[in-house]
Structure 1
Amino acid sequence: MTKWGLPLLLLFLNLACSHEPVNERISLNANWQFSPLGNSHWQEAKVPGSVQMDLLRKKQIPHPFLLNNEDSIQWVSETHWEYKTRFRINDSTLQKQKHILQFDGLDTYASVYLNDSLLLKTNNAFRRWEHDISDLLLAENALRIVFESPDSIERSEALKLNYELPEAPRVFTRKPQFQYGWDWGPTLKTMGIWRDISLLSYENVRLKDAFVKTESVSDTLALLTALVELETVNKDEITVVVRNNTTGDSFEEHITLSPGIKEYSVPVSIEDPELWWTHDLGEPFLYDFSITIKKNNDVLQKLHKKVGVRTIQLITEKDPLGESFYFKLNDRPVFMKGANYIPPNIFLSETTEKDYQILLNDVTNANMNMLRIWGGGIYENDTFYDLCDEKGILLWQDFMYACAMYPGDPDFLENAKQEAIDNVKRLRQHPSIGLWCGNNENSEGWHRWGWKDAKTEVQQQEIWNGYYALFNHILPKVVDSLHPSVSYWESSPKFGRGDKRYASEGDAHDWWVWHDGYPFEHFEENVPRFMSEFGFQSFPSLEAIRYFTQQDSINLIHPSFANHQKHARGFQLIDSYMKQYYPVPEDAKEYVYVSQLLQAYGITKGIYAHRAAKPYTMGSLYWQLNDCWPVVSWSGIDGLGNWKALHYRAKDAFKNIIIVPRLKNDTLQIHLVDDNLKPASGRLNIAIKDFKGEILFEKSVPSVATSVESSQVVFEIFLKEFSIDYSSSYADVRFGDTRRIFFFVKPKDLQLISSEVSTEIESTKDGFEIRLTSESLQKNVFLQTDEAGRWSDNYFDLPPGEERVVQFNTTTKKTPKIRILTLNQIMSN
């Protein structure tokens, strides 16, 4: 054999063995048209998409994010619509024995026809629908889908009951509930094909689902089971090959198949396993697995799974104070830091992978380790969960039920059961899934919000029976059977704020602040075991306001604001709280700025209080991370993706090691909180300074050690001994690389000094570096520019005589013109 003979032979053998799998999946997303039903005015449609977005792209409706346009497009969801396409199938595909048409998401009431034969009628936007079309498929095919308006169906369902369900009519339709209008979102009930359509063709065996399940984990060995669900037409002999591509290990099972759908298991092991951690505690390590179905030398079907080896537990145990509520990741208690997440766009198909990347980078950059996927939105796209796996973000996953009581008839409950099965099976492989929760506030609403009023005892019992069947029977059974390694939680919160057990058991939603007008100090006085919701509104960025008002100037009484503030008392509450804590500017731009400072001040006060209460409190998730359109809301990131002051300041409050100073009865207490896996030690420095930088008191503690189990008070001092004026001084506390500047009085009571902020700008490879200094303390320095880009920090305090370096990341080469606004300037006006 020549020197080239062996390599050529190996290349030939590799090519011979690397042919495409026998089973085929063909996308049917192309060449769609849509029209009002019966109109036959066909236009090009984008799939995945929605009727509203197709009309918008064609400029046949105004953009609902602008002005008051939302009201003018309600007719779209009141109309019936039709989609159609034609597709060809080649002879080799057509000759296969079985053909399955799959719909990953139809929104919502759809009748599907293939070659004029009715295949199925759908009634759930959250389910994957499929139909065997083996007897109908032709070389040339016409696929047609008729979407019926949800309004008429909801009215019909409501008439079947002799009472009104709380929050009807939306409760009858299994589609995103937030599309029916929320106190931060528009009423835009989308219709259309919102996820992929595909054709799966195979000869005898198809791989329906696979789940690589972690059975047990030790330092030296992880035992897993690959659960493989196969659908078989006739008896057959196949081989299932599970390969760990990360380690190179393969595991095989030779299986004799019988007709039908059955699950088979393949034992898998990993020596010296790398564990999946949240990004703040370690590496979110993922193994790359492939599952291959082979018959003789033919690969029938192959899929890939990213597998994170980890254990996650929700610990709810009785203790002398009530009942705990905390998560253990890999057998370590973890304080959960983060926010509540809603879909990033009311038009669901418009969120791209890049959008998800940016938003989830914002999450990790703000030191968050958990998001709560709120129950009024959607079970997110696979891309979202893949990114959370990669970035080390744990997810509290609600089922999609929110702030309502739902029907309890057999058809609805069966539909709900299948929805749960579809989504638990789809998402259970993701190590980021840390909890399944039945609903958002349904239980609290029933017991506290007057939903029982004007209903007979019989009606009340019927409604509650439906609730109990769904949230205490169906959903926990689905989770237990399909994803038993992750806990199920019936409802968030466990107890409403009218129940005395609110602060001592389960998770809590604190809306005494905002809805009930309680001061921000309430957060410090009333800490629960786990805060899964609390929040406060602010205005969005000036850019977002200019966008939806379509004006260059900022006018807070512009008519469109009435449509971009969905809370009836929102403006009033912002103004009322602002008067308590901040000066109230007359200038519109300054008012927007102070509203964001107010929000950040209140919410971070809560975060610091929750963390200082560790381990009694083991989670702080504020409402809300993001927006689905540009609006005045509780978000820390506005509808155009701009960070508000809250997100910048939450980034500091969520660091693993924080300093929490507290002033009580003229005694300054310094708490240290450490969320790392191992404790730290170092020098603690405390200085009290005036706003010119003069030191009024100074103390250094040479050796201080943190505790990862609990918050610790590491220093105390009675300040009255030093005749300190609280309104014109601050505490500067440092521990290692951690620093906290703490003020003794409310921002409005500070005697801030009016002085200039000096800036120097230098070009860098990623944008520009801005160096800032000031002779006196500058409160809440807000940097602005007209250039597009991202700030490394903003809305920060600048101590006197210190240089602060901020990076402005941008693609523009033009030196930006920097504008600076501070609370000092507003106080001096």
Structure 2
Amino acid sequence: MTHVPTTFRPLHEGWTVTAVDGPVPPEARAALAAGVPAVVPGEAHLDLVAAGLVADPFDGDNESAQQWIGDTAWRYATTFDLAPGDATRHDLVAYGLDTVATVELNGVVVATTQNMHRTYRWDVRGLLRAGANTLAVTFAAPVPEALARAERDGALPRVNHHEYNQLRKMACSFGWDWGIDVAGAGIWKPVGIDAWSGVRIASVRPLVDVVTRPDGGHDGVLTAHVEIERDDMTRGEVPVEVTLAEPEGGWALRVVGVVPAGESRATVTVGKEDVRRWWPVGHGEQPLYGVEVRAADAVWTGRVGFRTVEVDTADDAAGAPFALRVNGEPVLVRGVNWIPDHAFLTKVTRERYARAIDDARGANVNLFRVWGGGIYENDDLYDLADEAGILLWQDFLFACAAYSESAEMAAEVEAEARDNVTRLSPHPSLVIWNGNNENTWGRTDWGWGGRLGGRPWGDGYYRDLLPGVLADLDPTRFYSPASPYSFGEYRHPNDERFGTMHVWDVWNRVDYTVYRDYAPRFVSEFGFQAPPAWSTLTRVVHDEPLDPFGPQMLVHQKATLGNTKLERGWQGHLPDPATVEDWHWTTQLNQAQAIRFGVQHWRSLTPHTTGTILWQLNDSWPVVSWAAVDHDGHRKPLWHALRDAYAPRLATIQPRASQAARDAAWEGLPPEPDQTALVLVNDTAAPFAGTFTATRQAFDGTVLAKAGLEVAVPARGTATVVLPADVAAFGDRAREVVVVTPDDAAAGFATAYLDGADVVGQALDPAPLRVTVEPVAGGHALTVTATSYARDVMALVDVVDPRARVDGGMVTLTAGRSVTWTVTGADDPAALAATVRCANDLLDGRNPQ
């Protein structure tokens, strides 16, 4: 949460919720007219579940049966006692109201609100009374409210069947191509009374800089922008003391400033010699300095990390890069997009955030992009990212739509932006603010022109209002107007030559090998779908028999023609599945192979391509989606493939054009690849020099050709070594594989493989594995040995028990090689052994095509 003062008294007890108006089902009308217990912070859907009035919204087809909830107005009410005290001010503070609400205290309307993404504070001294007080919040039904505004002001282009862009409400609560439609209402963050006297600290923006001295040392500069509010009795100047504490505590540096009489702001600068700089993961440590601000008796505490941020988008010979630098050093982004981690936001706990950070670190991720159709996340995520060194790119909340620039909407947008830019300013992990998701692209390519009729569509926010807020409140971060964006007038916003790019023709229309046709400067969205883990899927889908196109399965597949695209996606790569279990494994495997293919290609283009951000890390409910980790916390095969493709040191075999091919290419056309090369990407601070062994092998392990390779790769650099022709030239593509292995296992490079054909075209042994399971401390050791070449070995252990987890997966083994994983949460060794699958077993003895 945001900084809550110690004087704040939460009002979270004794709430009831009633249905004010709407299509309430007959069986629930009596209960909802009388009122049922409500949880605050909370949401109407969850209160109805707790009252037994609706079933789990995620289960089966309950989503459609519960659409009435979003068509209903809800009233939350409670009674609280107030004892007389010494405080001279009593403010009613609401940190999050979802969304269009009327707030009443003791029967008097205090205010109406329009925005779930901001904080509200009202002076209510004249309305409170000693003893019992009543507080009520009435929420307009969000779906009819959005529709009514569209009818009043004119509908604007959007991707959803609801008019979500009419409200400052989380866009994906109205459903998305991975999200459940559960637009509802509720007091989703704390609400209560702040009783204070004298002075309160309204906000603190502790902005940082690092100055490099001539001798190479680094001094930190903390500029604390402090805003206060006085009560009616306090009129003079107010001393402001800023204390900077070392990361381990102990020694502190204090500087005193003052807010002059009649003013409300002060700026206090604290200098720290020989500061310890904060670094992204993989680049250094994450020291966090404590900050304490005192204004009279009011106190604010927080943490900062000293670092600088810049993004180079200046034109170069190839177009314009999107090159992130922290502390002056280039950071190659290995990122994931982040959506709200639960469709019901009050279910997102610090523990869920911590699990996500662990998932990210485990997959070698160094950046989250917090997507613009969700929320400004709670401080827990940013705190954990600060500690872990995970960088954060934060979208402002505009996604896939045109937005009104009316005076009313613009005022809400500015208030929301000021609120959240201020709140998030202490976090060193936050390095990029982004104006919108795909709106600039949509204005260009999605046929908005005739539908807009000349009306503004939000560009004024992205070009003027939002960068203006940042210039005023926090100029220390980089701002991008949009994603994708080409950083130049009259350029297509999704041009691979400039800035950031989204690649969505793969998945929507074309084969994943088309990833190789792109040489983007930075990819901020791309992805491929697959179902969640088997246990997650079957927990909510109960079709009999289970079928990819069953009615409940399709409820949990939100993408247009999603399952048809899944089928198209595996064509030419994997055989058609024979059972629904094979369909599940085929689609999960194909997702992993597609993303591995794209990431390895783009990383091999380093430093031309400076980063990729996968769509997406997480799910908001159990659904077929682009996620690497499903809603129940199971790491899909994609997660394991991403971990390897995002390894700081990557070895990948790629097609490359020789100099002769480049010379022979027609002007303006890319040369045809005529060589096979080992490309090494070294995203570490240490250079590498060593040797690799390259072989061409038969599937039984027979070596058909062999060569030694000497390589040298600079720190944060790449190297390309052409493979000898006898190693790279397949004699029988269906029965051979090229394998390149580092001679020093401690080098940090994994073995690279080049298959002569896709699985569907290979003469693979369909049963190439021996599996043993032995008990070990805390679980079981699962050892897999290949008797023949085995592609993408995976243990789908959740089939045995939804609590089961395995610490490895998506490993390719040549004949005679073994791998051992540890499985926790399951007790049946025979059942665990049966969960091991590989790409080979999909062939089931069939001849290659």
Shift of 1:79: 1.0
* DSSP-derived class of the 1:29 partner: coil
Report the Cα distance in structure 1 between the residues aligned to 2:271 and 2:491, rounded to whole angstroms.
50
Does the 8 Å contact 2:210/2:306 carry over to 1? Answer: no
CA contact (8 A) 1:611 1:711 kept: no
1:558, CA displacement in angstroms?
2.6
Task: Give the counterpart of 2:809 among 773, 776, 794.
Answer: 794
Report the counterpart of residue 249 of structure 1 in structure 2.
252
Q: Which residue does the alignment assign to 2:769?
A: 757
Equivalents in 2 of 1:778, 1:479: separation in Å?
Answer: 53
1:554–1:589: 8 Å Cα contact kept in structure 2?
A: no
CA–CA distance in structure 2, aligned partners of residues 353 and 100 of structure 1: 28
1:697 paired residue among 705, 709, 715: 705
Cα 1:742–1:552 shift into 2, 3 Å: farther
Could you tell me which residue of structure 2 aligns to residue 826 of structure 1? Answer: 842
Q: Which residue identity is paired with 1:791?
A: V
1:67 is aligned with what amino acid? G
* Deviations, residues 424-444 of structure 1 (Å, cap 9, x unaligned): 111111111111111111111
- Tell me, what secondary structure is at the counterpart of 2:553? helix
Q: 2:308 aligns with which of 276, 296, 311?
A: 311
Task: Trace 1:372-771 onto structure 2 (pairs within 5 A).
Answer: 372-453=369-450, 459-460=453-454, 462-464=455-457, 467-494=458-485, 499=492, 502-515=495-508, 517-550=509-542, 554-663=546-655, 667-702=675-710, 704-719=711-726, 724-735=731-742, 736-739=747-750, 740-771=752-783
Once the two structures are TM-superposed, the CA of residue 507 in structure 1 deviates from its matched residue by 0.3
Gap change, CA 1:654 and 1:248, over 3 Å in 2: same
User: Does the C-alpha gap of structure 1 residues 293 and 454 become closer, same or farther in structure 2, counting only changes over 3 Å?
Assistant: closer
C-alpha distance in structure 1 between counterparts of 2:281 and 2:238, whole Å: 40
Alignment check: 8 A CA contact 2:736 2:755 kept:
yes
Which residue among 37, 41, 63 is the counterpart of 1:48?
A: 41
Deviation for aligned residue 1:705 = 1.7
Report which stretch shifted further, 218-227 or 123-132.
Answer: 218-227
Structure 2 CA distance, aligned partners of 1:25 and 1:163?
41
How far apart, CA to CA, are the structure 2 residues paired with 1:422 and 1:737?
Answer: 44
Instruction: Rate the CA distance shift 1:139–1:632 in 2: closer, same or farther, 3 A.
Output: same
User: When the two structures are aligned, how many residues end up with a matched partner?
Assistant: 793
TM-score in terms of structure 2 length:
0.89
Equivalent residues of 2:398, 2:437 under 8 A apart: yes
Q: How far is 1:344 from its partner?
A: 1.1
SS of equivalent to 2:66: helix
Displacement of 1:809 in angstroms is 3.4
What SS does structure 2 have at the residue aligned with 1:711? strand
1:27 aligned residue: 10
Which letter does structure 2 place at the counterpart of 1:315?
A: D
CA distance in 2, matches of 1:202, 1:577: 61
**Alpha-carbon shift at residue 163 of structure 1 (Å):** 6.1
Q: Is the contact made by 1:104 and 1:197 (CA closer than 8 Å) also made in structure 2?
A: yes
Deviation digits for residues 514-568 of structure 1, max 9, x if unmatched?
A: 22x2222211121211000111111221112211113697433432012111122
CA contact (8 A) 1:673 1:707 kept: no
In the other structure, the counterpart of 2:280 is 278
Q: 2:156·2:451 contact (CA, 8 Å) conserved in 1?
A: no
Q: Is the 8 A contact 1:448 1:498 kept in 2?
A: no
Does structure 2 conserve the Cα–Cα contact (< 8 Å) formed by 1:514 and 1:535?
yes
SS in 2 for 1:471: helix
Task: Work out whether residues 727 and 738 of structure 2, in 8 Å CA contact, stay in contact via their aligned partners in 1.
Answer: no
Are positions 1:780 and 2:782 aligned together? no
Q: Which residue of 2 aligns with 1:212?
A: 206
1:139 to 130, 134, 148: 130
Residue 178 (structure 1) aligned with residue 189 (structure 2): no
CA distance in 2, matches of 1:50, 1:759: 47
Deviation per CA, 1:187-231: give whole Å up to 9, x if none.
110201011113211111001111221133333321212222111
Distance 1:226 1:162 in 2: 44
Show structure 1 runs of 5+ residues with no match: 1-20, 295-299
Distance 1:682 1:406, change over 3 A: same
Q: Match of 1:11?
A: none
Task: Quote the offset at 1:481 in angstroms.
Answer: 1.2
SS at match of 1:817: helix
Question: Which amino acid in structure 2 is aligned with residue 729 of structure 1?
Answer: E
Distance (Å, rounded) in 2 between the aligned partners of 1:175 and 1:161: 17
SS at match of 2:532: coil
Shift of 1:263: 2.0
Write the letter of the residue equivalent to 2:252. Answer: D
Equivalent in 75, 83, 91 of residue 76 of structure 2: 83
Match of 1:104 among 95, 98, 108: 95
Give RMSD over aligned pairs: 2.3
Matches within 5 A, 1:226-245: 226-233=224-231, 234-245=234-245
Of residues 65-74 and 215-224 in structure 1, the stretch that sits farther from structure 2 once superposed is 215-224
Alignment-mate amino acid for residue 643 of structure 1: R
Name stretches of at least 5 consecutive residues in structure 2 with no aligned partner: 22-31, 657-672
Kindly provide the CA deviation profile for residues 350-405 of structure 1, in whole angstroms up to 9, marking residues without a partner as x: 11111111112101110000111111111111111111111111111111110000
**CA–CA distance in structure 2, aligned partners of residues 322 and 552 of structure 1:** 54
Match of 1:329 in 2: 326
Shift of 1:707: 2.4
**Structure 2 residue identity aligned to 1:669:** A
Contact 2:38 / 2:47 at 8 angstroms: preserved in 1? yes
* Contact 2:209/2:307, CA 8 A, preserved across alignment: no
Question: Which residue type is aligned with residue 620 of structure 1?
Answer: T
Q: Is the 8 A contact 2:238 2:258 kept in 1?
A: yes
1:17 maps to what in 2? none
Which residue pairs with 2:351 in the alignment?
354
Report if the CA contact (8 A) 1:542-1:554 is conserved: no
Q: 1:744 to 1:236 in 2, by over 3 A?
A: farther
State the SS of the aligned residue for 1:187: coil
Deviation for aligned residue 1:647: 0.8
Deviation at 1:599, TM superposition (A): 0.9
TM superposition score normalised by structure 1: 0.92
Once the two structures are TM-superposed, the CA of residue 40 in structure 1 deviates from its matched residue by 4.4
- Aligned 8 A contact 1:111 1:121 in 2: yes
Contact kept, 8 Å, 2:178 with 2:623, in 1: the verdict is yes
The range that moved more, 232-241 or 630-639, is: 232-241
> Which residue pairs with 1:18 in the alignment?
none
Deviations for 1:467-526, whole angstroms, at most 9, x for unmatched residues? Answer: 2321111111011111101111111111599949711111000112122x2222211121
Q: CA deviation at 1:165?
A: 4.3
* Contact residue 529 and residue 626 of structure 2 kept, 8 A: yes
Contact 2:530 2:626 (C-alpha < 8 Å) held by counterparts: yes
The aligned residue for residue 223 of structure 1 is 221
Distance in 2 of aligned mates of 1:78 and 1:585: 42
Structure-1 separation of matches of 2:512 and 2:764: 22
Is the CA contact (8 Å cut-off) linking 2:696 and 2:728 kept in structure 1?
no
Q: String of CA shifts for 1:663-688, please: whole Å, max 9, x gaps.
A: 46663211111111332222222222
Q: Are 2:694 and 2:708, in contact at CA under 8 Å, matched by a contact in 1?
A: yes
Rounded Cα–Cα distance in structure 2 between residues aligned with 1:765 and 1:286: 36
Deviation at 1:284, TM superposition (A): 2.1
Distance in 2 (CA, whole Å) between partners of 1:169 and 1:436 is 25
1:72 counterpart = 2:65: yes
